[in-house]
Amino acid sequence: MSPVGRALHHHFEEVCRAELQRLRRKTASLSPDQRAEVDALTVAVAQGMASRIDAVLEAPGTGDLASVIMQLFAVSTSTLEERS
C-alpha cells in the first residue's frame, strides 16, 4: 500500500469512528451486537473506499493524482509518519 493509501485508510477510519460516536444517541435502540455490526460494516466500507482509491493511485500514469486526492480528503503522509 502506498503512503497516500495508508494515510487515506487512517483518515477514513478516524472519520468513521468519530461519526459513529456522534450518532450514538440515534443508534441507542440497537442491541450491542447490532451496534458492533453497524460499526464494523461502516469501517469496512470506508476502508474499501480507501483501498479502491489507493489502487487507482498505484496505476501507471497517476502520479499527479496523489496530490489532488490528498488535498481533497485533507490527508498528509507526514501526519501519518509522525504517529508511527
Task: Answer whether 71's CB lies under 8 Å from 45's CB.
Answer: no
**Residue 35, all three cell numbers:** 451496534
Distance spanning both ends of the chain, measured CA to CA: 16
Per-residue confidence (pLDDT) for residue 41, from 0 to 100: 93
Per-residue confidence (pLDDT) for residue 80, from 0 to 100: 53
Please, where are the H alpha helices in the chain? 3-22, 32-58, 63-72, 77-83
Instruction: Note down pLDDT in tens along the chain; length 84 residues.
Output: 778 888 888 889 899 989 999 998 998 999 999 999 999 999 899 989 988 988 888 888 877 888 888 888 888 777 555 555
Per-residue confidence (pLDDT) for residue 70, from 0 to 100: 85
Per-residue confidence (pLDDT) for residue 71, from 0 to 100: 87
